[in-house]
Amino acid sequence: MEVIHTVRDLRRRLAGEGAVGLVPTMGSLHEGHLSLVRSARTLASCVVTSVFVNRLQFGPGEDFERYPRDLSEDTRLLGAAGCQVVFAPDESEMYPVPQRFLVEPPELQHELEGAIRPGHFRGVCTVVLKLINMVHPQVALFGKKDYQQWTLLREMVGALSLPVRMVSGETMRADDGLALSSRNAYLSPEQRSEAPRLQRVLRTVAAGIKAGAARGDLLTAASAELAAHGWQVDYLALRRQSDLAPPQPGERALVLLAAARLGGTRLIDNLEVLLPEA
Ligand code: PAF
């Protein structure tokens, strides 16, 4: 496996490669990322994993500075997962001049995550577009834990006619249900044992929806349960899977999306809910 830091070396390495698969990451890798790398290996002959903590998608006061970084451990894990190329540009390689051209995503960028993190999805879409242009992959893989990111990136690829196939990976979870996330490293032992409640309440809401209970009441009760256990809930919402618009009556493919803070750590999670035909 090679670790490459510049676009020039990357293009030289990838010239003549057949099918290239791209797994964009910000490093601090866990099983969620590694399972994407393994899927990419089945879809491409050369897998490129990018490791770049993208300042553009962090707001003022967010955790850009303290975001965990350990390239040598990431490289070790990627080698074991069968990745061929690690692309780890530094900021001056990714943004040699201040990035004044930005991808402007549609209205959904201001909702849910975007309501709490203004500009976040502009930063995500801009860096992913740049990575696609740098790597020229046939296929790019993203985890569904960041469901809204996945939705917007998929739409971006279609809207800008990018010649890349978009593939999603399921959220990887610890045995107690907590979605794997690089930010779990911030949790104290007490917070870590509380954290699986986020997925548990989503499961309770999903069961209630399937049983036909009032959706608003279910969401209110779930937020109240989280608050009673020390969480600050940013949002807990039911949307339709296809474009994250509020569901219309009779819509069957739904998704619950949540973000909440435990102390200084903000966790997000989601749960797809497929209702049976009426
Ligand atoms: O999901 C992430 O880790 C990041 O948002 C991504 C897609 C690598 C862009 O920086």
* Mutation choice for ligand 1 from 22, 25, 67, CB with most ligand atoms inside 8 A: 25
Among 1.20.140.10, 3.30.1490.440, 1.10.1760.20, 3.30.1300.10, what is the CATH number of 182-271?
3.30.1300.10
25 Cα–ligand 1 center, Å: 5
- CB distance 222 to 202 below 8 Å: yes
Please report the beta strands in 52-206, taking only residues with DSSP state E, as ranges in sequence order. 85-87, 139-143, 165-169
Q: Quickly tell me which residue has 């917070």 as its tokens.
A: 191
**Distance, first Cα to last Cα, the chain:** 52
- CB distance 270 to 198 below 8 Å: no
Quick one: tokens of 109?
A: 């960028």
- What are the beta bridge partners of residue 261? 232, 266
Query: Rounded distance, CA 201 to CA 184, Å?
Result: 18
150 Cα–ligand 1 center, Å: 10
Tell the residue nearest (CA) to atom 8 of ligand 1: 25
3-class SS at 256? strand
- Cα angle value 142/104/184 (rounded, 5°): 40
- pLDDT of 40: 98
Q: How many helices (H) and strands (E) does the chain have?
A: 10, 9
Superfamily of domain 2-169: HUPs (3.40.50.620)
- What are the beta bridge partners of residue 165? 139
One-letter amino acid at 271 equals: L
Residue ranges of the chain with pLDDT lower than 50? Answer: none
Q: Is 74 in the pocket of ligand 1 (CB under 6 A)?
A: no
164 Cα–ligand 1 center, Å: 17
Q: Is 25 in the pocket of ligand 1 (CB under 6 A)?
A: yes
Give the domain ranges of the chain: 2-169, 182-271
- pLDDT of 64: 97
- pLDDT of 235: 98
- pLDDT of 96: 97
For the CA of 24, the closest atom of ligand 1 is 8
- pLDDT of 278: 78
